Amino acid sequence: MGLKRATTSVAAIAGAISLLAAAPAFADCSTEVALGVNSQGKQKFLRKETNMVTEAGPAKMVVEYATPDRMRQILTPLTEGKPVESIVVGDKAWTNNGEGWKASPSHEADQLVQFMIKSIAQVYQEVGKFECTGLETIEGKELRGYRGLDEPPPSAPGAPPAEKMKNEAVRMVYLDPVTGLPARSILARPGYLDKPIFKEVYTYPDSIVIEPPKDVVK
């Protein structure tokens, strides 16, 4: 009887292994995500609406781009504090923290310009590894999902450093199945994709006008 039970156990284990081996694995779809992100940077007009948890609390950030060298950013704390608006045109930048527009010092202007460049011109290698998760309907729209296989990307200004989220969050990117362009991306704790720590929604307006502010405080 002992031999029979042992033989049965071995057969069961072998069967389980064969089932695992036969189970379909998610495909590597990193190229699809990379192409989508790089195509996003080639769009003439781009709008990003971001909800995130910063070190100062929850906040919303809206960033608009008129490529290649114009950006308007509005960061709004959702608890305390005033919205901070910034405009970049070429290599110049201006900021309004509720006390009127002021020209940004050179080091701050350079930071804003570099943020703009990196935001709309990600290179292929920086996108990371992704697996396909299939079509999903999110807020009434059918999107194609991709799960990140590596650590989160660099944080947006004001967001917690990426290393704090490493191994604590799932990274998801959703592409429009028709255009191939990114529609949204999130960082969320495992099992809580509907309550993300970071959510960014992308739209591509026909026109965005960004001009230097006229009422700059001297």
Identify the structural domains of the chain with CATH numbers, from first to last.
30-203 (2.50.20.20)
Q: Do 169 and 149 touch, CB atoms closer than 8 A?
A: no
Beta-strand relationship, 101-103 and 182-188 = unpaired
Query: Quick one: which of 61, 33, 20 has its CA closest to 183?
Result: 33
- Alpha carbons 174 and 132: distance in angstroms, whole number: 10
Q: pLDDT averaged over consecutive 10-residue blocks of the chain (218 residues)? A: 40 37 59 92 94 86 94 92 93 94 95 89 72 94 93 51 60 96 94 90 97 90
Confidence (pTM) = 0.77
Would you state the pLDDT for residue 124? 54
Instruction: Compute the chain's Rg from CA coordinates.
Output: 23
